[in-house]
Amino acid sequence: MASTQKISKNSAQNAHRHNRDLLLALSRAAQSVQRTRTEEEVYHAVDSQIKSLGGEVALFTVTEDKKTLTLVHVTYPPEDLQNIEKLIGEKALGYRLELPAGSIYARGLEGGQTQYIHWRHEDISNILPSLPHDLTGQFMHLLKIEHGIIAPLRADEETLGLMIVNGPSLAEDDVPAMESFAAQIAISLRNVRLTQQMQLELSARRQAEENLRLQSAALEAAANAIAITDKHGIIRWVNLAWVKLTGYTKEEAVGQNPRIIKSGLHTVHFYKNLWDKILAGHVWHGEMTNRRKDGSLYHEEQTITPVLDGDGNVTHFIAIKLDITRRKQAETELKRAREELEKANHELQSAFKQQQRLARTDPLTGVHNRRYLFELAVHEFDLARRYRRPLSIIMFDLDHFKQINDTFGHAMGDQMLERVAAIARSQLRDVDLIGRYGGEEFMIVLSMTEAKQAALQAERIHKEIRMLRLETEKGIASVTLSAGIAEMIHDPKDASVDDIIRRADEALYAAKRAGRNRTVIFKPQAGGTI
């Protein structure tokens, strides 16, 4: 009986000593946890005290949906962990555990109650579903798992994860102390996370403020004029470049409508299109003329960008302006210079054409002069010879023209030549050529025309000339003409257009010898006689 009492007394003393050591260790751990600043420091504060009791601890965090646990800390020796990792085939830290419904882990999270458990094979299988059943015992033996405590990490009704403590000295009476300790860990973890979140937000806010400061400095120092208005167009901010461009100070500008720089040169429709576009949330880009404070006008290239809130509503507008006054002035000067150059070029071309016309035209009669007529005749001759086409030449002059000059004067003689040339030209086709060959003599080149056809042309000219009457102070002035015609010879072929002109000239003189006022065709078969 005494022996039984002694054993009971020793057991009570051991239990008392265990409780004291446990509370002391947890108290020290709680104090250490309260001083932590990071999650890692929380984990290590738990380590030292639990291990001093001869136990091991594993800490899991849980996802928001309470369906998955992740191992974030474990106190087992590194060599034991290595053996376990070889056994399960993956890393221990970061191991994710999908919570089976009804498992002791799920109950610990759902009920929020700390549990004292005797580990069973099926409990381990819930943690390691891929581990073969015959290796579960080996796993438990390696980690010396027999019984332990599962405590949810809860802080103000929020479950952050689970704490699993294993150790031979743990008893069911230790559940309240472990529950309190788990709560302390949860509070410390939450505080650490809140502190870290606050630090991140504070850092982000400081970074945002620094970015705003830098952006403001950049906008202020920008070479382009910048103005920020609210959605009603009231100016809220301008930079120094805007002040320099418009002449208004910041104090004069802020609170005003941009109408203070309006030039009055743009239509109501222009501004309506602008406002319709930016109020719809689109960027407007274009050129505009505005007026400075001193009244002077300036030109700007402007981009207006709407600023939208989170709901897509326009709150402000940012207008970036580029002074293009010098460019517009240069463009105006360039346009004026171009117009003057075009005008000068047109005048030069007109003068050149006039010079060409004068160089090719007989100044009295307006028909081709001898030199140019000969150039054209050579060209027609070459075409006729190449394609064996007919070509005829008429040579004619005015009969007794000297008497016109002697009787009525040279002015009337010149007028008579003008009228004769005009009449002859009116009887010709557009493709026919006529020119003053010299004095009162004219030459006509008729392409695609045989001598007999040319004679008909000459007869029409004869008829019109015979009807010509010019009134003068000394009476009526009239004139007749004599004409000679020759056509191109292909067999044997003429060597040049001179051969045709020579024969036409012979025919002309034959007409004069025959009494004038007639047309004669050169007949080569007659041996050169007319």
**Sheet of strand 314-323: strand arrangement:** 235-238, 225-230, 314-323, 297-308, 284-291
Residue 321's H or E segment, with its range, is strand 314-323
Write the Ramachandran bin of 41: left for phi over 0, alpha for psi from -120 to 50, otherwise beta. Answer: alpha
Please say if 39 is a catalytic residue: no
Please tell me which residue in 56, 179, 300, 440 is annotated as part of the active site. Answer: 440
DSSP 102-144: TSHHHHHHHH---EEEE--HHHHHHH-TTS-HHHHHHHHHHTT
Listed residue (172, 162, 164) closest to 76, CA to CA: 164
At 497, the amino acid letter reads V
Pairing outcome for strands 519-521 and 481-487: parallel
> Could you give the dihedral angle defined by the CA atoms of residues 77, 85, 152 and 45, in that order, rounded to the nearest 10 degrees?
30
According to DSSP, residue 525 is labeled G
Tokens of 277: 């576009």
Q: Provide the b/e sequence for 368-396 (b: ≥16 CB within 10 Å).
A: bbeebbbeebeebbeebbeeeebbbbbbb
**Active-site annotation, residues:** 440
